[in-house]
Structure 1
Amino acid sequence: MKNSVYILTLVVLFIMSAQIVRAQYTVDYRQYYQNPQTLNPAYAGIDGNWSFNLGYGSTSLDQDQKASNYYIGANLTFPKIQKSELDVLMRYCAKPKFSKRKPGVPRKLYGGGQVRHGFGATLYKRDFRITSRQEYALTYAVHVPLSRSLMVSGGAGMLSVLDRIHFDALNVRHEMDPIYQDLQEGEDNWNYYAAQVGVAIHSRRIYLGYAFKSKLRSSGAPGDLGAEGDTHQMSGGVRFSLSPDIEWLNSANVGLGLDDAKMAVTSQLQYKDLIRAGAIYDYQESISGILGIAIGDYARTDFTLAYPLESQYAQLDSKILYEVSLSFFAFKAKSRAKYFW
């Protein structure tokens, strides 16, 4: 019965994505798995751990040009406790949830009654030929347990985006003799700000989330702000246990709106907490292979190779994009809830 519910959830997400159209600017879903709060602020700090993430990706364009992107992200989470309980928490916060309560330990540190706060920050930069984009995001979320295995989260955040176009043109005009060459250079910038709100419900085996983003656009002139449009982001994931050591991880992300309209589906196999491998289908963008490897108890690295489909990359000489990311955790990776995959 549970498996039927999980499969139905994925089917619903796929149906919602049927009418998606491509847009000029699209979300890079590869960084979503390291910094999920970039698409839904309710996911900030949801893993119950402190994490710091670095990522870099690149592809060769034409002959001497390259497109690249990188991001830096952080997720922090704090429990809601009284000052008198701080020393108790420091001694017992590593204990498993719902374990037998020891004498003198506040009951709400066990049994799932603990409300947590999450904070997220992300810097993302993307260069493509003569254009570049910089995104800065700050998010806050609160996570409230509903039962021993189910939690609900709500979050809000602010996003600042700067787009820059740098152009140079060699104008040649014939005026008598010789030939005059005028080299002109210029740069055009525009930016917008956005407010985000999101909600999510999640457990060890499944998560569902919805986020709404309302944008204000500015061309740089003071007071020149106006509504650009709204976007909607839906995400979900299902985890199946194939054996005590092997799990099958599936997730889908759907974006609807002016400049975030797209879909990505991921399927991976994970062996214990050591290694995982799978594929990402990015709608009309690319098909990617992904490999994740644990580095001790406090770090993980992910490698991605992508083959472009109908995106702007596919029209160029490049056939392969690559990306590598590195994540650091303040506590042991095995203690993470691992809601995202």
Structure 2
Amino acid sequence: MINFINATTIRRSLYIVVLMLAQMTFGQQDSQYTQYMYNTQTINPGYAGSRGMLSLTGLYRSQWVGFNGAPETLNFSFNTPVSERVGIGLSFYSDEIGISKEDNIAADFSYTIPLNDRGTHLAFGLKAGLNILDVDFSKLNPNNPNDPSFQNSNSIEGQVSPVIGAGLYLRHRDRWYLGLSAPNILKTTHYDDVTISAADERMHLYLIGGYVFDLSSSWKFKPAFMLKSVQGSPLAADVSANFWFNEKLTLGTAYRFDSAVSGLLGFQVTNGIMLGYAYDYDLTDIAEYANGSHEFFLRFEIGGRSKGVINPRFF
């Protein structure tokens, strides 16, 4: 979440309004995903290697379609086990909001400890990388471009800051999982020397979980949740319910408290390829100006899994 201080000029005030409108929506801070249950590595490095094979995922999200300057996010990650206990991965996302663009690339490492002989494992994860911020003031469209406050404007280009994150990921075979993580524990301040202002990025804390129920030989039911907390903002909560038919077709719905209701669709094309789509209908006033949000997901996997693990897996 970004907080601005020391506002003294009209140009900077407009910049603040643009970014706040684009980024602040009833608890949204970091990039949000409706299909978070398939995109766990981005927020929790302890997930790396847990699927037992080389796993590559890609996700594209277009939020508030039709709203000028709305968030657009591209996410890519891969992870693989390198031994029975060690997993590694790489995650990347690009988030464009209004006049700002953030790129984040990080390496993930996990170490897993078996807690019993019934398939319960606890993984400790570390994340390290870089965040790159660009802000293009030339995209602003003031009513009076001759206003002295808009003269000699310098854009923010390639402002680099470190990323250090950590996570715990507890799972029991294909039955349930629970994770606690902070993708970046550092508080980073971005400075704008022209307007003498600053933007703070604070630590986000995530709690995720899910359980798989067998309804019949053909149907499985998986409820899942994600809680997201950051200082200075309300707790953000997402809950979802997915139904899995014949390990091929997934149908579900999700609710983001006080923000959006969603429909989810997934299809396991082969054991190694999964496609997913989600549509969000906004429940806030912005629904009058936007046409919902679209999210597309692709997972591609290569290799085999550990003995006794069902193929394919729900999470």
Alignment TM-score, normalising by the size of structure 2: 0.75
Distance 2:56 2:204 in 1: 27
Name the aligned partner's letter for residue 47 of structure 1: R
Alignment pair present for 1:131 and 2:135: no
- Which of 71, 74, 80 does residue 70 from structure 1 map onto? 74
Any residues of structure 2 matched to 1:168-207 within 5 Å, and which? 168-170=140-142, 171-172=144-145, 186-188=154-156, 190-203=159-172, 204-207=174-177
For 2:36, what is the secondary structure of its paired residue? helix
Distance 2:164 2:312 in 1: 28
Distance 1:120 1:234 in 2: 20
Distance 2:146 2:202 in 1: 43
Contact 1:191 1:218 in 2 (8 A): no
Contact 2:69 2:99 in 1 (8 A): no
For 2:203, what is the secondary structure of its paired residue? strand
Name the aligned partner's letter for residue 239 of structure 1: V
Which residue of structure 2 lines up, in the alignment, with residue 237 of structure 1?
Answer: 210
For 2:243, what is the secondary structure of its paired residue? strand
Give the direction of change, closer, same or farther, for the CA distance of 1:281–1:74 in structure 2 (3 Å limit).
same
Distance 2:145 2:230 in 1: 42
The offset of 1:305, in angstroms, is 0.9
Which residue of structure 2 lines up, in the alignment, with residue 87 of structure 1?
Answer: none
The offset of 1:298, in angstroms, is 1.8
1:282-316, CA deviations, whole angstroms, 9 ceiling, x for partnerless residues? Answer: 233321111000112220100111112238xx266
Aligned alpha-carbon RMSD (Å): 3.2
For 1:338, what is the secondary structure of its paired residue? coil
Give the direction of change, closer, same or farther, for the CA distance of 1:297–1:24 in structure 2 (3 Å limit).
closer
- Which of 62, 68, 77 does residue 58 from structure 1 map onto? 62
Q: Which runs of 5+ in 2 are unaligned?
A: 1-24, 193-197
Distance 1:136 1:323 in 2: 21
The offset of 1:324, in angstroms, is 1.2
Distance 1:214 1:65 in 2: 28
For 2:96, what is the secondary structure of its paired residue? strand
- Which of 224, 236, 258 does residue 251 from structure 1 map onto? 224
The offset of 1:248, in angstroms, is 0.3
Which residue of structure 1 lines up, in the alignment, with residue 289 of structure 2?
Answer: 317
Which residue of structure 2 lines up, in the alignment, with residue 331 of structure 1?
Answer: 303
Which residue of structure 2 lines up, in the alignment, with residue 282 of structure 1?
Answer: 256
Any residues of structure 2 matched to 1:77-116 within 5 Å, and which? 77-79=81-83, 115-116=84-85
Which residue of structure 2 lines up, in the alignment, with residue 44 of structure 1?
Answer: 48
Contact 2:191 2:199 in 1 (8 A): no
Q: Could you tell me the percent identity over the aligned residues?
A: 19
Distance 2:261 2:153 in 1: 37
The offset of 1:173, in angstroms, is 5.4
Moved more, 204-213 or 291-300: 204-213
Give the direction of change, closer, same or farther, for the CA distance of 1:164–1:49 in structure 2 (3 Å limit).
same
Contact 2:35 2:278 in 1 (8 A): no
Name the aligned partner's letter for residue 284 of structure 1: D
Distance 1:266 1:61 in 2: 26
Name the aligned partner's letter for residue 142 of structure 1: Y
Alignment pair present for 1:144 and 2:113: yes
Give the direction of change, closer, same or farther, for the CA distance of 1:143–1:337 in structure 2 (3 Å limit).
farther
The offset of 1:38, in angstroms, is 1.5
For 1:284, what is the secondary structure of its paired residue? coil
For 2:46, what is the secondary structure of its paired residue? helix
